[in-house]
Structure 1
Amino acid sequence: MTGLHLSRVSPLQNVAVQGRFGSPRGAPGVSFSVRHPMSILTVIARAGQGAATANALKGYTAQWAGPDQYFVLAEGRAEGVLYADVKAALAGIASVSDQSHGRVILRISGPKARNVLAKGTPVDLHPDVFPVGKSALTQMAHVGVHLTRVGEDVFDLSVFRGFSESFWEWITSQAEEFGYQVG
């Protein structure tokens, strides 16, 4: 079939409703957004190719996801383009898997973001221990989460698509005491 174009539909499109929620006092303590659409790849270095893989990923947005493993992310790329680029760049040294339809990335930001996250993870989020750019694999509400600090009070949480709605319900309920904005 010529001209077929698949588009990524967010599983949270009818759940992450824009607006102000929780405590009405003062400015919201946190803001949530769904980073969508995103191109998301899992990269795993082949045996003995960890350094070569890390070096080849320079120039891409790559986040640590385990020993010699990374998530590579891009916004605004056409379907399959990031996968083709990274697969070619890593030919023979790493395996690449497209996770764009299988994962959802939530962004939480604001002065109370750490407080909300601390309700669900044992990861020490103090800026001296968890600086901008650091990632961790953790569990929150019995869901596996790839947590990355991307700014001063800004964190990205990547979860499997099938868990995204229940995770959204859990994390927004944790933010109610601080008030939150969905954008």
Structure 2
Amino acid sequence: MADIQSPLGKTYIAGNHGNSAAGIGVTLRERKNLSIIQVTAWADTIPTVLTAIGSATGLVLQNKPGLGRVAGEKSVFGFAPGRYFVVGATPDLESRLRSAISLELGTIVDLTHGRTVIRISGSQSEWVLSKLFAIDFSEHAFPVAYGRATLHHDIHTNIQRIDDETFDLYVFRTFARSFWQTLGHAAEEVGYRVE
């Protein structure tokens, strides 16, 4: 895992923005130096692949749509039947998964250079995200560690809830700058901090 230059460029401006006079509603930051691996299991190998992901990462998953796990800087979540994002701050994540999952079980694709991860956290994070995506962000409908695949116009986004007030958004690097600006505009109303 090499240190990858951020696609956000000059749009990543640290500090407070928007209507921050009444306080900061959300904090935005880019998560860097992560390995992002997509694992796809064949239909009849899902339980075996989930066990293999668990042995490679220590994050055990049940075979339920959207279910995930979070532990510090590593996480895993399902976003479609038999499809999982496995994320960690370790450069050997892909090789560990390849050692645990053979081609007879499924496929492994390294998306590290193709995705940007944006973290939004704060008391107004659900409100801000609800402006952009037509899904229910309440904790009842979107529990901690669960993942979703969705769109904002033509920008595909994988989303994982990290805790009560925090979400990680995985967007294609080619759309990251545009999406970052859109997210900032959506957060202006509640005030936001870029860290």
Q: Same fold (TM over 0.5)?
A: yes
For 2:70, the equivalent position in structure 1 comes to: none
For 1:68, the equivalent position in structure 2 comes to: 82
Long gaps (5+) in structure 1: none
More helix by percentage: 2
Q: Is 1:51 aligned to residue 65 of structure 2?
A: no
Long gaps (5+) in structure 2: 60-74
For 1:83, the equivalent position in structure 2 comes to: 94
Written as runs of structure 1 = structure 2, the 5 A alignment for 1:1-183 is 6-58=2-54, 59-60=58-59, 61-75=75-89, 77-78=90-91, 81-91=92-102, 92-183=104-195
Letter in 2 for 1:62: V
Cα distance in 2 for residues equivalent to 1:127 and 1:7: 34
Are the equivalent residues in 2 in contact too, given 1:141–1:167 (CA < 8 A)?
A: no
Which has the higher mean CA deviation after the structures are superposed, 20-29 or 96-105? 20-29
In the TM superposition, residue 178 of structure 1 has moved relative to its aligned partner by 0.5
Are the equivalent residues in 2 in contact too, given 1:138–1:144 (CA < 8 A)?
A: yes
Q: So what's the TM-score if we normalise by structure 1? A: 0.91
Cα distance in 2 for residues equivalent to 1:120 and 1:6: 31
Structure 1 residues 41, 70: closer, same or farther in 2, change over 3 A? Answer: same
In the TM superposition, residue 6 of structure 1 has moved relative to its aligned partner by 4.8
Cα distance in 1 for residues equivalent to 2:11 and 2:98: 34
Q: Provide the identity percentage.
A: 31
Are the equivalent residues in 2 in contact too, given 1:141–1:170 (CA < 8 A)?
A: no
Cα distance in 2 for residues equivalent to 1:145 and 1:70: 14
RMSD of the TM alignment (CA)?
A: 1.4
Aligned length: 176
Q: So what's the TM-score if we normalise by structure 2? A: 0.86
